[in-house]
């Protein structure tokens, strides 16, 4: 990869997911939550346990104030990973999910960037890897799995559909014919 591009190789993404099952560390949880939700770095870093949990259970949808019209789905696999990680860290409801080991503050943006690069390198993903790579990966695969580009645009907080298409590299794809065969 030269400039930041989505990770298109599903096997590499699955490799990261499999590794996180063995060791549900803060770093894997951070990367996988980013890949599965498309949240911005600042939003991930500000997540507290009370944003993720309702009582003793992980919420199925995160209702964050910055995403009022599109609650963020947490799939069962991700729920299990987060629960194992949060339980192992013994976090209180007001603790940041991605908390610094030295203080009761979230990890820094710089630390988050190092985490992303380290996890990616461990799984053979090279090149310019950063938070945008993870957001683009989320959006690219959401689109490839049939999610409307307008919904992806909302999730990413982008102004236009064309901006979203360029962001995830769809403007470079050759348009394929869509056979719409409506019969009455």
Domain assignment of residue 50, yes or no = yes
3-state class (DSSP) for residue 57: strand
DSSP character string of 47-81: -BHHHHEETTEE-SEE--TT-TTSPEE--HHHHHH
Task: Count Cβ atoms below 10 Å from residue 131 Cβ, excluding itself.
Answer: 22
CATH at 100? 1.10.443.10
pLDDT of residue 24: 59
Q: For residues 132 and 34, is the Cβ–Cβ distance under 8 A?
A: no
The per-residue pLDDT for range 79-134, each reduced to its tens digit, is 998 999 999 999 999 999 999 988 889 999 999 999 888 888 888 888 888 999 99
pLDDT of residue 1: 43
Domain assignment of residue 48, yes or no = yes
Domain assignment of residue 72, yes or no = yes
Give 33's pLDDT tier (boundaries 50, 70, 90).
Answer: very high
The residue segments making up the domain with residue 49 are: 10-125
Domain assignment of residue 64, yes or no = yes
Domain assignment of residue 180, yes or no = no
The share of the chain scoring above pLDDT 90, in percent, equals 54
Domain assignment of residue 151, yes or no = no
Domain assignment of residue 32, yes or no = yes
Domain assignment of residue 116, yes or no = yes
Number of domains the chain is built from: 1
């Amino acid at each position: 990869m030269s400039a930041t591009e989505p990770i298109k190789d599903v096997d590499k993404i699955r490799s990261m997911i499999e590794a996180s099952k063995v060791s549900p560390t803060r770093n894997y949880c951070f990367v996988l939550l980013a890949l599965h939700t498309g949240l911005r770095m600042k939003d991930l870093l500000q997540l507290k346990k009370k944003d993720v949990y309702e009582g003793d259970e992980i919420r199925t949808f995160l209702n964050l104030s910055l995403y009022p019209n599109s609650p963020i789905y947490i799939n069962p696999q991700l729920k299990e990973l987060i629960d194992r990680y949060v339980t192992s860290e013994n976090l209180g409801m007001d603790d940041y999910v991605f908390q610094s080991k030295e203080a009761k503050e979230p990890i820094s943006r710089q630390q988050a960037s190092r985490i992303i690069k380290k996890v990616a390198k461990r799984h053979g993903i090279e090149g310019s890897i950063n938070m945008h790579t993870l957001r683009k990966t989320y959006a690219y695969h959401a689109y490839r799995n049939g999610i409307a580009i307008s919904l992806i645009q909302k999730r990413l907080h982008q102004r236009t559909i064309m901006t979203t298409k360029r962001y995830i590299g769809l403007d470079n794809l050759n348009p394929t014919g869509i056979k719409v065969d409506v019969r009455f």
